[in-house]
Chains A and B, each alone.
Chain A
Amino acid sequence: KGAQKSLGNFFKKQ
């Protein structure tokens, strides 16, 4: 199965 990505890959810290 695919590797679980984290939201940090998509959303930048403000």
Chain B
Amino acid sequence: MFEAKLTEGLILKKIVESIKDIVTDVNIDISPSGISLQAMDSSHVALVSLNLSMDGFEHYRADTNMVLGVSIANLAKVMKLADNNDQITLQADQEATHLKIIFENPKTERTTEFNLNLITIDSEHLAIPETEYSSVVTINSGEFSKICKELFSLSETVQITTNTDYVQFSVEGEVGSGQVRLGHNDSEKKEDQTILEVSESVQQQFAIRYLNMFNKASTLSSFTRLCLHQEQPLVVEFKIDNLGVLKYFLAPKISD
């Protein structure tokens, strides 16, 4: 038996909205300690990794480990039934054929229930090696989203360069070439800070369209954390306060 209740249901709505354009069918791993999912996009260039801790739920019970195969596209349709201030409860029996989703609004006495049919997915899990990222950039999530959108109109590819003084996003195309350079900014307004932790410089190229999809998650956190390592995929990380973390992994483009 699995049951989890989230008082701030809006978070779950945002999480589904943040991953629905990247992954289609996912296996949601339920365990006594929390909920996790790992899935790649169809081209195996991007990977979504979500981890939610049981502590973040108003009520959480999972007697055993379970795997719930879910069509994210269908889950997104069901989540549309939720109002932004609904409490959301997820329920599934052992060997369940469906996931029961309940939206409650204690103020308006409105309750919505939906049994989402589960699907069987034989998706293989990828082993993500523990990596010591030699560059970690913490940046305002809205600002990073804006930079990506603006650069995308100038080029499909962005080159990210880090060093101890700045992180640089450069583009080059038939329009011309240029870069956005952000230095360390410890302004007193915390959410405007840009924090660079660079032990080794990194320079890699990435397809911006994936970054734009990842940035849908910027509604979940005021900060985006970019973790870079010269030989590893980029990690774009959004911490979900009191609940967990949503990470996106993006394979680089190798310049010839």
Residues of A participating in the B interface, judged by any CB pair closer than 8 Å: 1-14
Contact = CB atoms under 8 A, between A and B. Distances in A.
5 contacts: A4-B253, A7-B40, A11-B128, A12-B126, A13-B127
B106 interface: no
Interface in B197-256: 205, 207, 231-233, 249, 251-256
Contacts of A2: 157, 205, 252-256
B153 interface: no
Given A2-B253, A5-B251, A7-B251, 6 more contacts: A4-B45, A4-B207, A5-B253, A6-B251, A7-B249, A10-B232
Interface in B122-168: 124-129, 156-157
Interface of B: 40, 43-47, 124-129, 156-157, 205, 207, 231-233, 249, 251-256
Q: Give the interface SS of chain B, mostly helix, strand, loop or mixed.
A: loop
A11 B129 contact: yes
> What 10 pairs between A and B have smallest CB-CB spacing?
A2-B253, A2-B255, A11-B126, A14-B125, A5-B251, A6-B44, A13-B124, A1-B157, A14-B127, A2-B254
Contact of A7 (B156, B205, B233): B233
A9 B205 contact: no
B127 to A, nearest CB: 5
A10 B47 CA distance: 12
Contacts of A13: 124-127
A1 to B, nearest CB: 5
A2 B40 CA distance: 21
Given A14-B126, A14-B127, A6 B254 contact: no
A8 B46 CA distance: 10
B154 to A, nearest CB: 13
Contacts of A7: 40, 44-47, 126, 233, 249, 251
A9 B251 contact: yes
Contact of A1 (B40, B126, B205, B231): B205
Contacts of A1: 156-157, 205, 253, 255
Contacts of B124: 13-14
